[in-house]
Amino acid sequence: MTGWLFRMFTAWIAVAAGGLACAHMARGPARRDVLHLRKVVILMRHGVRAPTQSPQKLSRWSDRKWPSWSAPPGDLTRNGFRLAEMMAVGIRQYYGSRGLAVPVGCAGHRDLYVYADNMQRTIATGQAVLKGFFGDCHVVPSHFAIGKDPLFHAIKMNACRVDKGKARRKMMRDLQRMTDMRSFQTHMEDMRRILCSSEDTKQAICALRRPTRIVVGEHVALHGGLHVASAVGEAFLMEYADGKPLKDVGWGHLRSVHAVNRMLYLHNVYSAITRQESYVAAHGATPLMRAINNVLMSGQLTEGRHAIPQAYRRAKMVFLIGHDVNIAHVAGMLRLNWALTGQPDRTPPDIGLAFDLYRNNSGREWVGVRIFYQTLASMRAASLHKGDANPLSEPVVIKGCDSGPRRDLCTVKRFERIVSRRLVSSCSMQRSWLE
């Protein structure tokens, strides 16, 4: 009896399921709302470089013997070029696997536009990006012809004039708060042990002893001990990433990523005070965010309204190659925050801040933000020719901009509203980057 009831029950279930399936087929399959990538704009920092300071200036910071570099001060190194090329390859693969018609072959260069600041390290990074996409196709990045480019140097070139008193007051608040923390004092002591060879001798050269003071002029910066600690920490990171012998990385004191990580704490503090404070960041980032927004939306805007040149309108991907200060300014302006796995620098060499434009089946559009970066260990391994520095990618959520089908997406209208609210209206609309 039990077996008979069981067979009847299973037969009824099968008939019911078949009926539901037929009803579903009669109505037709449910339409799946697919997101299609339409355009990408990537703000990217240059790659690994030699210290920007001259040997003479470094000698005034410490009487230790500084390691030599194959590149002139501030220039991209050979390994830096290779790492930037790997970053470009990884970005190309990422977007190619997600449906964007990524430009390939020498004829595809029209679909990719690379604009760089006109310094050796940024132009060379742009060349590495183009090589990562097209190989040896002899395509060159565009850049401003003469002088500082206001797109990447908005404050210095007076494209965005800051109120010096207001900037100084805001920075002083952050400086006092951070320097009063016990962790700050601990890390300064760690840096002093490495940088100052004879700390018990009053005659020993150690620039960390200089008092920190705020400077607001052509640059918004800190001079003194914290500035030196920031620059030296980044020099140590460049030494490690460039594959220098461990005996030369921090004079042999920094033999692991963990050790380098401790030395980057002060560099990140310096950046938070001078670059990511919202008032200063908005002034530094306004020309860039105008450019990014205009290029991202160029398919919708009329030529007369924003005068987007054809090269930007046509390209599916646009790279803007600048500096860590540019990444930090945009992050501060949009209140972006991230922690990079295995990478102690919050704005490391080759980091890419990508703005993605999506469209669904019904024509609605969203904007998403993500970062691309390489771990410090993979950068060193690639520099020593032991592997590839394949980039990692993570989404970044703009606060108040998570209204899309994914948590990291928001509507175009909402994105433009957030950006426009934080732009500094008094900043002049520079055209240098269009030329």
- Where are the chain's structural domains? 36-161+277-434
DSSP β-ladder status, 409-411 and 352-359: unpaired
Nearest Cα to Cα of residue 157 among 284, 319, 337, 325: 284
Q: Say if residues 323 and 149 touch (Cβ distance below 8 Å).
A: no
Q: Work out the percent of the chain whose per-residue pLDDT is above 90.
A: 67
- Residue 306 in this model has a pLDDT that exceeds 50: no
DSSP β-ladder status, 213-216 and 220-223: antiparallel
Residue 36: partners with Cβ closer than 8 Å, 6 or more residues away: 99, 358, 359, 360
263 to 67, 103, 178, 250, 345: CA distances (angstroms): 17, 40, 16, 9, 10
- Residue 329 in this model has a pLDDT that exceeds 70: yes
- Residue 414 in this model has a pLDDT that exceeds 90: yes
- Residue 393 in this model has a pLDDT that exceeds 60: yes
Predicted TM-score (pTM) of this structure: 0.89
At residue 122, what is the residue type? T
Residue 126: partners with Cβ closer than 8 Å, 6 or more residues away: 114, 115, 116, 140, 141, 143, 319, 321
- Residue 286 in this model has a pLDDT that exceeds 60: yes
CATH class of 36-161+277-434: alpha beta
In three-state secondary structure terms, 220 is strand
Q: Say if residues 243 and 351 touch (Cβ distance below 8 Å).
A: no
**CA 251, CA 236: separation in Å to the nearest integer?**
9
As a whole number of Å, the end-to-end CA separation of the chain is 87
How much is the pLDDT for 111? 83
**CA 150, CA 178: separation in Å to the nearest integer?**
31
In three-state secondary structure terms, 137 is coil
DSSP calls for 346-364? SS-TT-EEEEEEEE-TTS-
How much is the pLDDT for 431? 54
How much is the pLDDT for 315? 85
Residue 378: partners with Cβ closer than 8 Å, 6 or more residues away: 342, 387, 388, 389, 390
* DSSP bridge partners of 319: 42, 114
